[in-house]
Structure 1
Amino acid sequence: MGSLRGLLLAAGSCFRLCERDVSSSLRLTRSFHLKIINGFCIKPQESPRAPSRTYSHRVPLHKPTDWQKKMLIWSGRFKKEDEIPETVSLEMLDAAKNKIRVKISYLMIALTVIGCIAMIIEGKRAAQRNETLTRLNLEKKARLREEAAMKAKTE
């Protein structure tokens, strides 16, 4: 218990020494118009600028192909092909592709569920007609044996 208390006291004194070093280094930077509040450095607030209408980084534009125009329409980005501008951003095309991928995956999920339900219904109907796989295989083997016997007789 005593060693734990000693360890805590040593950690506290080490923390105070580091705090003094930080605050003394911050005093040296006062010439750079920094304010010191509770040992932390805060830059002075700059006046907010009005948002500029021009972008410093231009987004690369791409002339869409006919297929890409169809994808933009299918994704719901535009209603008609006439509304699509001559150049669109690559991000817009990627977003349209992703929407179409999601729609296709939902469609595939729905078709899979419908197919499973149809197979269950068809299997139950076949079971009612007594068309089991075992019975069909036995009939097929019997037919093949008869054909083999007919060939053996004719030879």
Structure 2
Amino acid sequence: MSLLLRCVRPTGRLLLAGRSSSRTLCHQSDVPVDKVASKPGFTRKHHPSNFDRFILVWAKKYRSREEVPLTVSAKELDSARESARIRTCYIMIALTLAGCLVMAISGKKAAREKKSLSNRNLEQRAKLKAEAAASD
């Protein structure tokens, strides 16, 4: 609870007296520091899964899945994930634009042929009424 009181400022001021106000949510002294990650020359290693290997190859970090080593630096994996995420977004944008184009063309074609949902609905209702009258 005391950590919460030190970090949360509902009015823009710190709740504990004696501390100056800053734009950060918590002071750096409140955040625990990882001793191993702060050593110079230390890089986190990650054992890539099959999907991570696919992402690394798709992001063109390696030529094939077999070339991906057993451990990859976390920075390299994050970079590959970012480029794959951006590439996926571009693909989704292109597919959305293609879908819009197809729908606009099909709508104009239906308008030229005088096909609309209201006409189709009226035809179905007339057909159902004719079937109901025939069955009586």
What's 1:83 paired with?
Answer: 67
What's 1:98 paired with?
Answer: 82
The one of 108, 122, 129 aligned to 2:92:
108
Alpha-carbon distance between aligned partners in 1 of 2:64 and 2:117, rounded to the nearest angstrom: 53
Map 1:5-154; keep pairs closer than 5 Å: 56-151=40-135, 153=136
Alpha-carbon distance between aligned partners in 2 of 1:110 and 1:144, rounded to the nearest angstrom: 42
SS at match of 1:136: helix
SS at match of 2:115: coil
Alpha-carbon distance between aligned partners in 2 of 1:97 and 1:118, rounded to the nearest angstrom: 31
Which amino acid is the alignment partner of residue 40 of structure 2?
S
Shift of 1:82: 3.8
Alpha-carbon distance between aligned partners in 2 of 1:97 and 1:148, rounded to the nearest angstrom: 60
More relative contact order in 1 or in 2 (CA 8 Å, sep 6+)?
2
SS at match of 1:130: coil
What's 1:26 paired with?
Answer: none
Alignment TM-score, normalising by the size of structure 2: 0.65
Taking only the aligned residue pairs, the percentage that are identical comes to 37
User: Which structure has the larger Rg?
Assistant: 1
Number of residues of Structure 1 aligned to a counterpart in Structure 2? 98
Alpha-carbon distance between aligned partners in 2 of 1:133 and 1:85, rounded to the nearest angstrom: 57
Deviations 1:35-59 (Å, cap 9, x if unpaired)?
Answer: xxxxxxxxxxxxxxxxxxxx73511
Gaps of 5+ in 1: 1-54
Structure 1: 4+ residue segments shifted above 6 A? none
Alpha-carbon distance between aligned partners in 2 of 1:133 and 1:61, rounded to the nearest angstrom: 58
What's the RMSD between the two structures over aligned residues? 1.6
SS at match of 1:85: coil
